[in-house]
Chain A
Amino acid sequence: MWRRDVDGQVLTFHLAGINNQNFLMRDEETGSFWQQISGKCVAGPMAGRELKLVYSDEVTAALWREENPNGMILSPLSKYKSEYEKKDWDKKMAKVRTVLDFPKTGIASRELMFGIAWNGASKAFPVKRLLDEKVVVDRVGGEPVLIVVGPDGKSIRAFHRKIPNAEAAPDFYRAVNVRDVKAEDANAVAEAAKKPLLMDAATGSEWNFKGCAVSGKAQGTCLEPIPALKDYWFDWRNYHPNTTVYNR
């Protein structure tokens, strides 16, 4: 997700090529080519410029509906309906051959990663491990981070693990009464989203999935969300050659 204005000029992007299974975009206004994954312009009049990243999330519809009752959602273009892929396209994609592999890393090319490029460093967290552990307390580039699986058991968010006016790098735990709910059960997800999800060890406050404290000493403050990208290992490793991997 990027801002598409550069120095006051608003650009309109079109698909212009597939670049190592990521893609290239071309803007109508200057004819320059931009890399989707980095937002960098690689050729044309705007070469060297970069788009500004906008924080975005990948969450389930049930959760988003609960968090944003006034939200607007893209309506499908009916003439292309037959071309939209089914819900389980990512399972099918997992079987497609990759153009690049990093066998020495010992990680499968199509292992899905939750990738964070932040604070001058990159780190990949295997999605399977995150969904298992539900709350992960770690560091990226030396700074403390918190990665949480949402009340729907599917959505994942990352935050800078820093509470204003509290001790540095507090520990976080899953709140005591949190039950696992199925993502397909919209009502259960909505109910679960209203309750606190986490507790921190520094202030004893309760926190929700938006990263905001709903009770306790820190009530009213929110953790800074960190942008992350769900990506296959081979693609993440290709664009972040110095990446580390969680727990390796």
Chain B
Amino acid sequence: MKSSARWWILLVIAAVVAIACFAIPMYVIRPFRAQGGRELAMALAVMRIRPVLSILAAIVAVAVAFALWRMYAGIGKRLLILQGAVAAIVFAALSWINVYELMFHGAGKPAFVSVKSAALEPDEMLLTVNTGGSARAYPIDYIAYHHIVNDRAGNIPIVATY
């Protein structure tokens, strides 16, 4: 095998790993798709290792691209090298983004107002909790969007989900 063939193979592997880091969870855990228990566990395992794995793949891809760049002067080959490196970098970066929080922004640190001063429709539905000496309500309209609100009732840390 020519020594450059090894580099090409390594570039392809690095790019594929970066793509898989992003694509596997994206494919398995997308909305409106039923998930089996084992494939979910596999996708979650990918999600847990991908921050490190994707960076490694990107670094390897870039290093290999440098090596190959010096071996080839032609436009055609150099374009291929660039594509491999760019693909690895782009998908490694995408692996770091939480697309679900892009679709449904996190509520962050929520602000609360007294129920007396709040502008509410009488028949508007609220998710409510009474604990830690505190009565707290989360309008269903809002929490149906944010899905998760990390909060505290008195000194009890709670998380409201919908």
Interface residues, chain A, CB within 8 Å of chain B?
A: 1-5, 10-21, 23-25, 31, 33, 36, 42-44, 51, 54-62, 64-65, 68-77, 80, 83-87, 89, 97, 99-100, 152, 154, 182-186, 189
22 contacts between A and B (CB under 8 A): A1-B159, A4-B157, A5-B156, A13-B148, A13-B161, A16-B100, A18-B32, A33-B44, A58-B125, A59-B128, A60-B124, A64-B128, A65-B115, A68-B128, A68-B135, A73-B120, A73-B126, A73-B139, A75-B118, A77-B111, A77-B142, A86-B141
B44 lies within 8 A of A4 (CB): no
* B127 located at the interface, meaning its Cβ lies under 8 Å from any Cβ of chain A in the complex: yes
B157 lies within 8 A of A61 (CB): no
| Known A64-B126, A87-B124; further 10 A-B contacts with Cβ < 8 A | A13-B161, A18-B29, A42-B40, A64-B128, A73-B120, A74-B107, A80-B146, A84-B142, A100-B34, A183-B123
B112 lies within 8 A of A75 (CB): yes
Question: Which residues on A sit within 8 Å (CB–CB) of B161?
Answer: 1-2, 13, 23, 25, 36
Give CA–CA (A205, B53) in the complex, Å: 66
A18 lies within 8 A of B30 (CB): yes
Give CA–CA (A75, B137) in the complex, Å: 10
Interface residues, chain B, CB within 8 Å of chain A?
A: 25, 29-35, 40-41, 44-45, 47-48, 98, 100-101, 104-108, 110-116, 118, 120-131, 134-150, 156-161
B122 lies within 8 A of A184 (CB): yes
* A72-B136 contact, Cβ under 8 Å, with A17-B100, A18-B100: yes
A185 lies within 8 A of B45 (CB): no
What's the A-B contact tally at a CB cutoff of 8 Å? 219
Distance in Å from the Cβ of A186 to the closest Cβ of chain B?
4
Distance in Å from the Cβ of A94 to the closest Cβ of chain B?
14
Question: Which residues on A sit within 8 Å (CB–CB) of B101?
Answer: 14-15
**Which A-chain residue is minimally distant from B43 (CB atoms)?**
A17
Give CA–CA (A18, B108) in the complex, Å: 19
Question: Which residues on A sit within 8 Å (CB–CB) of B159?
Answer: 1-4, 11, 13, 25, 51
Which of A14, A20, A31, A71 has the most chain B CB within a 10 Å cutoff?
A71
**Which A-chain residue is minimally distant from B161 (CB atoms)?**
A36
A19 lies within 8 A of B115 (CB): no
Give CA–CA (A77, B127) in the complex, Å: 17
A43 interface neighbour in B44, B108, B126, B150, Cβ under 8 Å: B44
Question: Which residues on A sit within 8 Å (CB–CB) of B126?
Answer: 58-61, 64, 73
Of all A-B residue pairs in the complex, the 8 with the closest CB atoms, nearest first, are A183-B123, A62-B122, A186-B122, A43-B44, A17-B29, A71-B135, A61-B120, A68-B135
B104 lies within 8 A of A15 (CB): yes
B105 lies within 8 A of A31 (CB): no
Question: Which residues on B sit within 8 Å (CB–CB) of A12?
Answer: 150
B33 interface neighbour in A75, A99, A186, Cβ under 8 Å: A99
B30 lies within 8 A of A70 (CB): no
Distance in Å from the Cβ of A207 to the closest Cβ of chain B?
18
A73 lies within 8 A of B113 (CB): yes
B134 lies within 8 A of A72 (CB): yes
B145 lies within 8 A of A84 (CB): yes
Give CA–CA (A71, B150) in the complex, Å: 18
Question: Which residues on A sit within 8 Å (CB–CB) of B124?
Answer: 60-61, 87
A58 lies within 8 A of B139 (CB): no
* A69-B160 contact, Cβ under 8 Å, with A18-B29, A18-B30, A33-B47: no
Question: Which residues on B sit within 8 Å (CB–CB) of A183?
Answer: 122-123
**Which A-chain residue is minimally distant from B105 (CB atoms)?**
A80
Which of B107, B122, B161 has the most chain A CB within a 10 Å cutoff?
B122
Give CA–CA (A10, B121) in the complex, Å: 34
Distance in Å from the Cβ of A130 to the closest Cβ of chain B?
15
* A73-B122 contact, Cβ under 8 Å, with A4-B150, A14-B101: no
B29 lies within 8 A of A19 (CB): yes
